[in-house]
Amino acid sequence: MAKRKTQRLYFVLLGGLAVATGIALVLTAFEDSIVFFYSPSEISQQSLSPGQRVRIGGLVEMGSVNAVGDTVSFTVTDTAETLDVTYRGILPDLFREGQGIVAEGYVLASGVFQASDVLAKHDETYMPPEVADAIKAAGEWRGDDSATTQKTAATESTATP
Partner 1 sequence: MNPELGHFALALALPVALVQSIIPLIGAYRRDAALMAVAGPAALAQMLLIGAAFAALTQAFIASDFSVVNVYQNSHTSKPLLYKISGVWGNHEGSLLLWVSILAVFGAAVAAFGAGLPDRLKARALAVQGLIGAGFLAFILFTSNPFLRIDPAPVQGMGLNPLLQDPGLAFHPPMLYLGYVGFSMAFSFAVAALLEGRVDAAWARWVRPWTLAAWSFLTVGIGLGSWWAYYELGWGGWWFWDPVENASFIPWLTGTALLHSAIVVEKREALKSWTILLAIITFSLSLLGTFLVRSGILTSVHAFAADPTRGVFVLMLLALAVGGSLTLYAIRAPKLEPGGLFAPVSRESGLLINNLFLTTAAATVLLGTLYPLIAEALELGKLSVGAPYFNTVFIPLMVPLVLLMGIGPMMAWKRSDLAGILGRLKGALAAVAIVFAIALALSGIAVVDIAGSAGIALATWLFSSSLIEWAGRVRLFKGAPSDVWRRIRSLPRASHGMTVAHMGMAILIVGVSGSSAWKQENILTMAAGENVTVAGFEITFNGAELIQGPNYESLQGSFSAKRGGSSVALTPERRVYDQPVQQTTEAAIHTTFWADLYVVLGDGPTDDRRYVVRAYFEPFVPFLWYGILMMGFGGLISLSDRRHRIGAPRRAAAVAEPAKA
Interface with partner 1 (CB under 8 A): 3-4, 7, 10-11, 14-15, 17-19, 21-22, 25-26, 28-30, 32-38, 53, 55, 67, 69-70, 72, 88-91, 93-94, 102, 104, 119, 121-123, 125-126, 128-130, 133, 148-161
- Give alpha helix (H) positions in 44-106: none
Which of 17, 120, 141 is CA-nearest to residue 78? 141
Find the shortest distance in angstroms from Cβ 102 to partner 1: 7
- Minimum separation from the CB atom of position 64 to partner 1 (A): 16
Q: Which is nearer to partner 1, 109 or 123 (CB)?
A: 123
**Cβ contact 73:110 at 8 Å:** no
Nearest-approach distance from CB 58 to partner 1, in angstroms: 13
Closer residue to partner 1, CB minimum distance, 8 or 111: 8
Cα–Cα distance, 128 to 102 (Å, whole number): 7
Distance CA(37)–CA(56), nearest Å, equals 6
Q: Of 45 and 109, which CB lies nearer to partner 1 in the complex structure?
A: 45
Q: Which is nearer to partner 1, 109 or 126 (CB)?
A: 126
> Are 57 and 130 spatial neighbours (Cβ–Cβ below 8 Å)?
yes
CB of 84 to partner 1, least distance (A): 19
Q: Is the dihedral of CA 134, 135, 139, 141 positive or negative?
A: negative
Q: Which is nearer to partner 1, 31 or 109 (CB)?
A: 31
Confirm if 13 and 24 have CB atoms less than 8 A apart. Answer: no
